[in-house]
Amino acid sequence: MNMPSRQRMTRRDLLAMIGTAAGGSVMYQAATSLGYAAESGFKGPPGLSGAPKGTSVLILGAGVAGLVAAYELGRAGYKVQVLEYRDRPGGRAWTLRGGDEYTELGGYTQKVGFDQGHYLNPGPWRIPYHHRAVLHYCHELGVTLEPFFQVNYNAYVHSRDAFGGKPQRYRHVMADFHGHVAELLAKLGHKGGLDAEVSREDKEKLIEAMQDWGALDENYAYKASPLTSNRRGFEKDPGGGLSGEPVPSKPIDFSQLLQSGLWRAIGTGSGYEFQTALFQPVGGMDQIPRALAAQVKDKITYNAKVTEIAQDGGGVTVSHVDAQKGGAVRTDRADWCLCTIPLSILSQIPKNVSAEMDAAINAVPYEAALKIGLQFKRRFWEQDEEIYGGITYTDLPISVIGYPNSLYGSKGKGVLLGAYPWGPFAYEFAAMTPEERVRKAVEYGAKIHPQYPKEFDTGVAVAWHRVPWTLGCFGVWTEQSRAEHYQNLCQIDGRLLLAGEHASYLPAWQEGAIASSLDAITRLHQRVIAK
């Protein structure tokens, strides 16, 4: 299948460009206005004391939002029951390992062939240090964490139209972009070009700062030298003995660098959500929901496909069937219901809610995204190219290559994130069979790593809008839709209220799901106490 040569600019692209040009703080403000970034307000688990004995809550969905709610409500003395569509907990906090099977819409079934110890996280794969709620439950429940590297200076940035399609090291592009910009500013300052903008004293400090920041020489030039090579790397690294003298590397010409567009990628690590430290659970992201589910295992009913939600003045009745076998409709009833089902699914389930909540549920579309995991016979990215963790960025349809942040230097096989496109490219990939998606990812990846075809072993591809239990990656809000519908979505509607990443200002993040869940059960508890 032919793919377009250019992808529309996404919000993430825009934010990366803002971060490159104006810095991380400006990028964060822009992201916040779009509903993509916000500091977690988590201060600790809610105080839910004084719950009336026997008060029951039915929770729909055993993703992290539903599991946290079940855990905290159960500890507070509520009678809790969880209905989960799948045969396992976690929702989008999902890990695929060797032997797993997954069937998407359309009937395509993939059996994962990864070797033991290797996996793909089709959903969330990283935890920022300021996502305090996620980290709280990891620490409380003993989920072991390890570092996740968003930025690896030795990984690549790549464009099919730049440098003959040859990938460039991230550090070369970043050091050279900063150096050339610093040289321009320093020389402009010396020529009086900044006199109208800053005081004489500030101008002198600015020029001094540019010299240091850009690794400029005594003439404020950015050119090949030991100083610049300490930023971008040497042509020949320092060594020992008679042949140990280093050879400086030559910076990329500024015009060539600007025209390449590769500078778009170097602002990613400045984003508030991607600044170090970041973490991942050892062994896969599903370690978090597994740990939560172990605390409430007697309260979860798996393979329960919700078919109707009906509430009245005394409680909520939920109808459901066996998601695997079908059969007779069963019902469960509780005093209250917390629904964490994605809005893309909830909008299709019959329910009696207010017109305002119904409109809110139907107002939030879900983003298309796709991840492809590729297992290779050896870890050539480490052995041949010295890339340990981090991400390579490209304008190819695969968008990124993510390197594993564990088992460094181990012999044998390894699994890369071979593709993570959003929007149009995700739809293009999803139109293929899973086998074709994997083959295309290998074909594209070979333009960056020529070892791909020889070393490829097996792969798996997950297109999120073809995942039956979510039909998309995450809820997409606009300023207008938030202003019109967000409050109505989060209000207690009779005996029903909602939670999940879609009911937060941290969409697409587990932190948003947990924050919304804790907020919901706190307000529910207050309502119960008041009654």
pLDDT tens-place string over residues 179-190: 999 999 999 999
pLDDT confidence of 449, banded at 50, 70, 90?
very high
Distance CA 27, CA 402 (A): 23
Contact 68, 292 (CB under 8 A): yes
70 pLDDT more than 60: yes
Residue 44: what pLDDT? 86
262 pLDDT more than 90: yes
Residue 512: what pLDDT? 97
Contact 59, 70 (CB under 8 A): yes
Q: Is 333 exposed, middle or buried (0-12, 13-18, 19+ CB in 10 A)?
A: middle
**Mean pLDDT score of the chain, rounded to an integer?**
93
For the chain, domains (ranges, CATH) are 56-83+287-364+476-530 (3.50.50.60), 96-155+276-285+367-466 (3.90.660.10), 168-260 (1.20.1440.240)
Q: What percent of the chain has pLDDT over 70?
A: 93
- Strand partners for 103: 109
Distance CA 172, CA 250 (A): 10
Distance CA 64, CA 135 (A): 13
Residue 32: what pLDDT? 44
Q: Of the ranges 6-10, 316-320, 386-390, which one carries the lowest mean pLDDT score? A: 6-10
pLDDT tens-place string over residues 356-400: 999 999 999 999 999 999 999 999 999 999 999 999 999 999 999
Averaged pLDDT for residues 310-330: 97
Sign of torsion, CA 440 446 451 453? positive
23 pLDDT more than 80: no
Strands 109-111 and 101-103: antiparallel
Distance CA 501, CA 142 (A): 24
494 pLDDT more than 80: yes
**Using H for helix, E for strand and C for coil, what is the string for 368-388?**
CEEEEEEEECCCHHHHCCCCC
20 pLDDT more than 90: no
Contact 45, 518 (CB under 8 A): yes
3-class secondary structure, 526: helix
| Residue 277, preceding peptide bond in cis (omega within 30° of 0) | yes
pLDDT confidence of 41, banded at 50, 70, 90?
confident
